[in-house]
């Protein structure tokens, strides 16, 4: 959430920053905001005047009573002022609620380094690593490679509908191996604390990290006791939600920063509005696994942490020997809560293109203000932390990349060397 003082002090700059995101519809109803602010100021000024008048009358009442004089008229006026103050307070509460709702619907402001642009075509490539493999046979996609190894979309659809998969045998073991390797790398080499988090969270938790209210249509929800009219709790779309909110409503000691957390979890997304995109295979699923990285940092250290986390995600791809590129997202392609985001895109031979496998973002104080989470700084004052998150990596997409990049002409798949200890030493997965 943005600091409302930013809007009050420099509304034009905020509007200009929001316009960089290139939304088809303005994020902020400027005239409504100005009207609410004007009424808020009027009510607060009127309340202060009423409070001052009541204080003055109270002193006069005390003086009259001390002298044994009648204060009935003054007492009646004080009573009337109390009623006016209550009415003002009620009106102010309504206005503050609407202003708060406005703020909850505003995305983060792009960092100055973020390039302008409306969509992925304006993203800026930073670097590439590895050379795409040249095949001496016709490369197949992961659906055809994976089917003989246990990748089963028909059973997934039978059980749960479209965009669900069922893994068995060699491909299920490879999927588990990838997740375990990623967790080991993030904990042993990069210093993250492994966590196991709930997969179901409360509404205020999703509001804290920014999924609600903006993206409610993309969330799966569950109810208790047959209450189908109201969402009681939600399935997480990423463990960023539960990891980041693990410090919600806390004032942290400065010395504990940075806090580095990681978790492997399933993720559930309805992907509203994405019909027709990537309907074949595992690229876009309603349920997928991810190893998430989260850092809670001092504000002065968050952009240093962003580069560090990008390196932590890259290290996974390099260890797996998968070619990839790093892309800096433009303002119009960034997530709602992000101030700056890098995407890692892995090479997929069957598509002859790079596809996203990780996003690493600095949300600055945007999520911390919503949770809220602070730390006590060197001056002894409470200050908002900065929060960062990133995939380290998306397990299903990593599986896709391994199957396609390490496929062999006979239908087998070579197991990347770093994964072999996790699959009983096997060098090949064979149908």
Distance CA 222, CA 234 (A): 6
Q: What is the pLDDT of residues 209-226, one digit of tens each?
A: 999 999 999 999 998 776
Whole-number pLDDT of residue 274: 53
Tell me the pLDDT tens digit for each residue of 28-51. Answer: 999 999 999 999 999 999 999 998
Answer yes or no: are the C-beta atoms of 147 and 352 closer than 8 Å: no
Secondary structure string (H, E, C) spanning 129-162: ECCCCCCCCCCCCHHHHHHHHCEEHHHHHHHHCC
Strands 221-222 and 200-201, how do they pair?
unpaired
The helix (H) or strand (E) run that includes residue 388 is strand 386-394
Answer yes or no: are the C-beta atoms of 179 and 400 closer than 8 Å: no
**What integer pLDDT is reported at residue 72 of this predicted model?**
86
C-alpha 193/C-alpha 311 separation (Å) is: 17
pLDDT tens by residue, 295-344:
999 999 999 999 999 999 999 999 999 999 999 999 999 999 999 999 99
Give the pLDDT score at 77. Answer: 87
- Give me the pLDDT at residue 277, please: 56
**Which pTM was predicted?**
0.92
* Calpha distance 111→116 (Å, rounded): 11
Looking at the annotation, which residues are catalytic? Answer: 269, 284, 356, 359, 397
Q: What pLDDT, on a 0 to 100 scale, did the predictor assign at position 114?
A: 98
The rounded distance, in Å, linking the Cα atoms of 255 and 416 is 40
pLDDT score recorded for residue 395: 98
**Distance separating alpha carbons of residues 350 and 344, to the nearest angstrom:** 18
10-residue mean pLDDT profile of the chain (431 residues): values are 96 97 94 96 92 89 87 87 91 95 97 97 98 96 97 97 96 98 98 98 97 92 74 92 98 98 97 60 95 98 98 98 98 98 98 97 98 97 98 98 98 98 97 91
Domains of the chain, with CATH numbers? 4-104 (1.10.287.40), 120-429 (3.30.930.10)
- pLDDT at position 75 is 86
**Residue 289, Cα to own-chain centre: how many angstroms?**
16
Which residue has 């505003």 as its token pair? Answer: 106
| Under 8 Å between Cβ of 207 and 101 | no
CA distances to 77, 139, 260, 323, 355 from 348, in Å:
78, 10, 31, 9, 7
């Amino acid at each position: 959430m943005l600091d409302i003082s930013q809007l009050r002090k420099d509304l034009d700059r905020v509007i200009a920053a929001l316009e960089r995101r290139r939304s088809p519809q303005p994020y902020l109803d400027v005239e409504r905001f100005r009207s609410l602010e004007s009424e808020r100021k009027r009510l607060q000024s009127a309340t202060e005047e009423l409070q001052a008048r009541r204080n003055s009358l109270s002193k006069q009442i005390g003086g009259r009573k001390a002298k044994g004089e009648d204060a009935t008229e003054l007492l009646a006026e004080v009573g009337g002022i109390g009623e006016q103050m209550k009415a003002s307070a009620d009106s102010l509460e309504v206005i503050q609620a609407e202003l708060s709702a406005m703020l909850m619907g505003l995305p983060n402001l792009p960092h100055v380094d973020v390039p302008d642009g409306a969509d992925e075509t304006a993203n800026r490539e930073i670097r590439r690593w590895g050379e795409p493999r040249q095949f001496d046979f016709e490369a197949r996609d992961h659906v055809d490679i994976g089917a003989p190894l246990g990748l089963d979309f028909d059973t997934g659809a039978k059980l749960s509908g479209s965009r669900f998969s069922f893994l068995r045998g060699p491909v299920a073991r490879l999927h588990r191996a990838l997740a375990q390797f990623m967790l080991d790398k993030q904990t042993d080499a990069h210093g993250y604390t492994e966590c196991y988090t709930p997969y179901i969270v409360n509404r205020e938790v999703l509001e804290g990290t920014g999924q609600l209210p903006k993206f409610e249509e993309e969330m799966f929800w569950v109810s208790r006791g047959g209450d189908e009219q109201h969402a009681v709790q939600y399935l997480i779309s990423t463990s960023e939600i539960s990891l980041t909110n693990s410090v919600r409503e806390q004032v942290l000691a400065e010395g504990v920063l940075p806090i580095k957390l990681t978790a492997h979890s399933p993720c559930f997304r309805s992907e509203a509005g994405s019909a027709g995109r990537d309907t074949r295979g595992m690229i876009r699923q309603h349920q997928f696994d991810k190893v998430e990285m989260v850092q809670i940092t001092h504000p002065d250290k968050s952009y240093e942490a962003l580069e560090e986390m990008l390196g932590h995600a890259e290290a996974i791809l390099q260890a797996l020997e998968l070619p990839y590129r790093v892309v800096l997202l433009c303002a119009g392609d960034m997530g709602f809560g992000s101030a700056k985001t890098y995407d890692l895109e892995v090479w997929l031979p069957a598509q002859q293109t790079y596809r996203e496998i990780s996003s690493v973002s600095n949300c600055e104080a945007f999520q911390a203000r919503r949770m809220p989470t602070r730390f006590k700084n060197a001056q002894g004052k409470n200050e908002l932390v900065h929060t960062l998150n990133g995939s380290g990596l998306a397990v299903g997409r990593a599986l896709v990349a391994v199957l396609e990049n390490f496929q062999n002409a006979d239908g087998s798949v070579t197991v990347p060397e770093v994964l072999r200890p996790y699959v009983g030493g096997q060098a090949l997965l064979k149908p």
